[in-house]
């Protein structure tokens, strides 16, 4: 009879040690993975914003004239950047907005002389 009681006590002790030592570690590991995924998405969005600004700020400064070649090169670089992000990270960008933007970038550039 003592052996059965002793087995039950050891089983409770084993379950208690499992809950107290392994479960917090496993939960912490999965929370770390989840936080890493969230921070990576934030970094990707910030990197996309920076790459877009890096393309447009030198070209479209206020008051400066740009050539047609500069505008077309910027448009092509923008289209390439968006396609790379769309293919590499499909859930990062809104599909409807991305499609509208790509349609705009596929159109020809209108020249307006003053």
Residue 28, pLDDT score: 93
Nearest to 74, CA basis, from 53, 59, 84, 62: 59
Residue 92, pLDDT score: 72
Spell out, as residue ranges, where the chain has pLDDT lower than 50. Answer: 1-2
40: Cβ contacts below 8 Å, ≥ 6 apart: none
98: Cβ contacts below 8 Å, ≥ 6 apart: 82, 86
Q: What is the pLDDT of residues 56-67, one digit of tens each?
A: 776 666 566 777
Domain coordinates in residue numbering, the chain: 2-106
Helix (H) or strand (E) holding 81: helix 68-88
> Torsion-angle region of residue 84: left (phi > 0), alpha (psi -120 to 50) or beta?
alpha
Residue 29, pLDDT score: 94
Q: How many CB atoms lie within 10 A of CB 85?
A: 19
């Amino acid at each position: 009879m003592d052996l059965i009681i002793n087995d039950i006590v050891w089983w409770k002790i084993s379950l208690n040690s499992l809950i107290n030592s392994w479960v917090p570690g496993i939960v912490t590991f999965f929370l770390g993975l989840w936080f890493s995924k969230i921070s990576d998405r934030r970094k990707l969005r910030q990197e996309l914003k920076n790459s877009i600004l890096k393309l447009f700020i030198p070209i479209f400064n206020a008051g400066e004239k740009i050539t047609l070649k500069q505008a077309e090169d910027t448009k092509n670089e923008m289209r390439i950047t968006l396609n790379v992000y769309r293919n590499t990270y499909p859930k990062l960008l809104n599909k409807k907005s991305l499609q509208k933007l790509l349609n705009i970038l596929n159109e020809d550039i209108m020249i307006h002389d003053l």
